[in-house]
């Protein structure tokens, strides 16, 4: 039974290259969170592979064999591995609570911004920089 490796939502850019990572797919991951993702296959790309596909689903059918299915067509690729890279900055920073700003630093910045609001205050800030 095929095992789902990854699914894209919307357009997926396909890049064919010579070298160990012959086929690279990049687009937005299906599901939540919708984040940028890149899949790189350790195999040469099929010659007839297009530059863009839509709503791609990647499944592992057998060890070392993958199926890339889009809305209109599917391709079978023999690859040693598939490398998945996700942009996880948004969910990562959403999970971390912001560090509280110390009260002394808050007072310092409020005073600096209040001084910067007037010409006289800007002169004071310039004098303090020297």
Could you report the per-residue pLDDT of 73-87, keeping only the tens digit for each? 999 999 999 999 988
Output the pLDDT for position 66: 94
For the chain, what is the domain count? 2
Output the pLDDT for position 12: 94
Output the pLDDT for position 85: 92
Q: Are residues 63 and 87 in the same domain?
A: yes
Determine the straight-line distance between the first and last CA of the chain, rounded to whole angstroms: 72
Output the pLDDT for position 18: 83
Can you give the residue range of the structural domain that contains 114?
100-129
Q: Tell me the per-residue pLDDT of 16-71, one tens digit each, with 9 for 90 and over.
A: 888 888 899 999 999 877 789 999 999 888 888 899 999 999 999 999 899 999 98
Q: Are residues 72 and 110 in the same domain?
A: no
Degrees to nearest 5, angle at CA 118 with 122 and 109: 65
Q: Are residues 59 and 88 in the same domain?
A: yes
Q: Are residues 32 and 58 in the same domain?
A: yes
Which residues lie below 8 Å from residue 34, measured CB to CB, with a gap of 6+? 9, 28
Output the pLDDT for position 39: 93
Q: Are residues 111 and 64 in the same domain?
A: no
Q: Are residues 114 and 68 in the same domain?
A: no
> How many angstroms separate the CA atoms of 122 and 115, rounded?
6
| DSSP H stretches of helix in 87-118 | 89-95, 103-116
Output the pLDDT for position 130: 83
Output the pLDDT for position 57: 95
Q: What is the mean pLDDT of residues 91-104?
A: 88
Picking from 36, 127, 49, 122, the residue whose alpha carbon sits closest to that of residue 85 is 36
Output the pLDDT for position 1: 78
pLDDT at 96 over 80: yes
Which residues lie below 8 Å from residue 118, measured CB to CB, with a gap of 6+? none
Q: Are residues 108 and 65 in the same domain?
A: no
Q: Are residues 26 and 66 in the same domain?
A: yes
Q: What is the mean pLDDT of residues 83-109?
A: 89
Q: Are residues 17 and 80 in the same domain?
A: yes
């Amino acid at each position: 039974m095929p095992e789902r490796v990854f699914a894209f939502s919307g357009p997926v850019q396909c890049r064919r290259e010579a070298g160990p990572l012959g086929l690279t797919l990049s687009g937005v991951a299906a599901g939540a969170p919708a984040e940028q993702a890149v899949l790189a296959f350790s195999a040469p790309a099929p010659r007839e592979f297009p530059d863009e596909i839509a709503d791609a689903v990647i499944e592992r059918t057998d060890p070392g064999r993958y199926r890339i299915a889009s809305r209109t067509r599917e391709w079978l690729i023999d690859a040693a591995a598939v490398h998945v890279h996700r942009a996880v900055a948004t969910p990562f920073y959403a999970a971390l609570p912001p560090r509280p700003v110390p009260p002394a630093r808050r007072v310092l910045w409020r005073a600096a911004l209040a001084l910067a609001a007037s010409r006289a205050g800007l002169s004071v800030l310039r004098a303090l920089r020297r």
